[in-house]
Amino acid sequence: MLYYRKATTIISTILGLMSIIFGILLLSNIFGSYNDGLVPFCLGIYIVFIRPIFVYRLYRKNFYSTKPLQENITYEFTEEKMKITGESFSSELQMNSLYKIKELNNWFLIYTNRQVANLVPKKNLTENEVLAIRSILYKTKGIILKLKL
């Protein structure tokens, strides 16, 4: 899940788990006197469980309310541009205007800025197509590349 790939999310999850443990220890009177462990316990539960559920529901709602995201989308790469074609839209982006490209095991994430990315699934691509896309991306100047070798 992309949510857990950011360092801030990983760190906050670890702190949330520590908060849950600390809250349980305080609530169990392990330190000899009763201390209010309910606040750290509840905070940890929120960070570890409730916040990811909210994020998931928000992204799911956005996906289902944006019809073009649900369409079959075709990507065409050339050395100059990337053409994105859906059933109800068509768009072209100059390759040198992209912000960052990151390759994961099953996806190419093509960022147009720091927060917005086009997700290109690799499951529908042959190995030769993946290599061709990497080749085009390596030739593009001025963007951040995080590709697999």
- The pTM (predicted TM-score) of the whole model is 0.72
Give me the average pLDDT of each 10-residue run along the chain (149 residues).
Answer: 81 96 86 75 96 93 88 92 93 92 93 90 92 91 86
Residue 6: predicted pLDDT: 83
Distance from C-alpha of 21 to C-alpha of 100, rounded to nearest angstrom: 38
Which pLDDT value is given to residue 50? 96
Give the pLDDT of residue 35: 65
Which residue is it, tokens 């197509």? 129
Q: What confidence score (pLDDT) does residue 148 get?
A: 82
CB 6 within 8 A of CB 14: no
pLDDT tens for 111-145 read 999 888 888 999 989 999 999 999 999 888 889 99
Radius of gyration of the chain (CA): 22
Other beta carbons less than 10 A from residue 108's beta carbon: 23
- Helix 7-27 and helix 38-45: axis angle, to 10°? 150
Rounded Cα–Cα distance for residues 58 and 51 (Å): 11
pLDDT of residue 5: 79
- Can you give the pLDDT at residue 63? 85
